[in-house]
Structure 1
Amino acid sequence: MERSRIAVAGASGLVGSALVRSLAADGHQVVRLVRRAARGRDEICWDPEGRYVDAAGLAGCDAVVNLAGAGVGDHRWTDAYKKRLRDSRVLGTAALAEAVASLAERPRVFVSGSAIGYYGDTGERAVDEEAPPGEGFLPSLCVEWEGAAAAAREAGVRTVSLRTGLVVARGGGAWGRLFPLFEAGLGGRLGDGRQYWSFISLHDEVAAIRHLIDGEGLSGPFNLTAPQPLTNREITAAMGRVLRRPTLFPVPAPVLRLALGELAGDVLSSARVLPRRLLESGFSFAFPGIEESLRAALER
């Protein structure tokens, strides 16, 4: 990819900060969207919940990447927090898509976040991008989230939805909480451990996003998950092997529901998601297995 000017929303998050480092290391000019007045040409002011973007700042960008959104696991899912989860994603995506569509010279591609929560609980059934959305809060949120990018797509901008799985990294997300527990010897399966977890290493997540930015003709939804989802029980065993710690402390489902409320349903549900379109596009995983992904996270 030639050196480009790329705007990134959510640049301070787990994936966003890693993406910015990767792009900058290769000489690309990264412009961050910030929720205050811009302090230079490398910043753009925006207010996602207020559906405001300083569209002039996007001028000259080859790509716009939207990874912004309140953390799904940061709080109990009260009605107020569910509204924040929705607004930070749906309104922010709509604002960026409309800003992209308003430009006289539009970016080549608009890449916007989504999640494998789109599919809901799939049980033991493996699903790819052809599967319909599931039922419940997260699937309905993901449907709205992806739909909010319509303005860019309708303006003729190549538009990609990133249906991301559980990112294996020490710096945040689910594994940001799991690593300290397992390192202390306090880890164990969640519920009965039979639910599938579709994971992806942080390295491969960033590499996949860059692959989709570069990939002319690639549009629509892509599952960003490793090729072989595993059960929570299998992942727990892998954590024990890699960290050389016992995994003797399972957390029963009723305890999870008491501690997490409605969020526990997401932790206990099964998502057996396959990255069919990503593989068909020629993407190659550096860390396809869970043990490789865990070791890569520990080395960074």
Structure 2
Amino acid sequence: MNILVTGGTGLIGSEFIRQHQKKHSFTVVSRNRDKAQALLGGDIDILDSVSKIEDMSAFDAVINLAGEPIADKRWTDTQKRIICESRWSATAEIVAKINDCKTPPKVFISGSAIGFYGNQLDKQVTEDTQPNDEFTHQLCSKWESIANGVDNSVTRVVLLRTGVVLTDKGGALGKMALPFKLGVGGKLGHGNQYLSWIHLQDMVDAIAFLLENEACNGAFNLTAPGPVTNSEFSNQLASALNRPCLFTVPSFVMKIAMGESSTMILEGQQVIPQKLTTAGFEFTYPSLTVALAEIYQG
């Protein structure tokens, strides 16, 4: 396939391209062409904006992973607008280009997140679960709605409701692991809130599965089938690192440090990849124990 990727220099996009560039040809949209070329290699075509694409008919598929990192900064009103617009405007531009071309791509895979569901306490969450209306739901709901503006009678639309991606190549795990490496790690808040995660390799494999499986459409939870509580995650991470898990970071400390965005850590969701497993996808790393062992022991 000839595939257009936005967000191709990010953790997920760059790994997907690295693993599949012998099978597919890629064009990547990146504002920093030199950085993208250095990261992805000379065989990848780089465009600095979607507006430079004259005709989407050139592509068999589009994978849209662009967006401002959601947890890197405090959620001020300004930062919330940046987070939203970086996803909404980029997706709207792609949708318009797809709808305007004579021979649209066969599949449009667009990012989303399990934040779509909002706080669900300890309820088991599937793709059919009614969401709780809060900022992350409003962000993801509109993001998905824009993506669904593609004419799905011609182009298959798949939405990736992604959990916390675990890898030693970047992302959240390094930040989570640092306190444990320093010997001061422990659970966050009461520790009963769920963490829905997915190993990076399963994330890459799931995207490939959804790309190629023509029966798959709509929203899919990209999380492992074994979500765990924060307390369990903390203990397993400590064990994988051969470090103690002795401390508790009180909720009020997280709220002071992170502001409103701390809700993503202190509340959480127990998300199950129901549609993905029903479609026949098999996880290489279905349990946290196996995932952390691969990451830290190879």
TM-score range (shorter-chain normalised) is over 0.9
C-alpha distance in 2, partners of 1:153/1:218?
16
Paired-residue identity, %: 37
C-alpha distance in 2, partners of 1:155/1:55?
23
Alpha-carbon spacing, 1:299–1:153, altered in 2? closer, same or farther (3 Å)? farther
For residue 197 of structure 2, what is the amino acid of its counterpart? F
C-alpha distance in 1, partners of 2:55/2:151?
20
Q: How is 1:176-195 mapped onto 2 (pairs within 5 angstroms)? A: 176-195=174-193
Match of 1:240 in 2: 238
Match of 1:5 in 2: 2
Q: How is 1:34-183 mapped onto 2 (pairs within 5 angstroms)? A: 34-35=30-31, 42-46=45-49, 53-56=51-54, 58-154=56-152, 156-183=154-181
Q: Does 2:20 correspond to 1:17?
A: no
- In the alignment, is the contact (CA less than 8 A) between 1:196 and 1:232 conserved in 2? yes
Match of 2:208 in 1: 210
Consecutive unaligned residues of structure 1, counting only runs of 5 or more, are: 47-51
Match of 2:23 in 1: 27
- CA deviations 1:79-99 (Å, max 9, x no partner) are 110000000111111111111
C-alpha distance in 2, partners of 1:99/1:297?
39
- In the alignment, is the contact (CA less than 8 A) between 1:101 and 1:155 conserved in 2? no
Corresponding residue SS for 2:62: strand
C-alpha distance in 1, partners of 2:131/2:31?
32
Deviation at 1:118, TM superposition (A): 0.5
C-alpha distance in 1, partners of 2:55/2:172?
34
C-alpha distance in 2, partners of 1:28/1:201?
23
For residue 261 of structure 1, what is the amino acid of its counterpart? G
Q: What value does the CA root-mean-square deviation take over the aligned residues?
A: 1.8
- CA deviations 1:18-41 (Å, max 9, x no partner) are 1111111x4311111122679998
For residue 18 of structure 1, what is the amino acid of its counterpart? E
TM-score between the two structures when normalised by the length of structure 1: 0.92
Match of 1:251 in 2: 249
Match of 1:49 in 2: none
Corresponding residue SS for 2:127: coil
Deviation at 1:105, TM superposition (A): 1.5
Q: How many residues align?
A: 291
- In the alignment, is the contact (CA less than 8 A) between 1:158 and 1:217 conserved in 2? no
C-alpha distance in 1, partners of 2:275/2:103?
29
For residue 262 of structure 1, what is the amino acid of its counterpart? E
- CA deviations 1:214-264 (Å, max 9, x no partner) are 011211000000012110000111011111100122210000000000011
Deviation at 1:155, TM superposition (A): 6.0
C-alpha distance in 2, partners of 1:36/1:57?
22
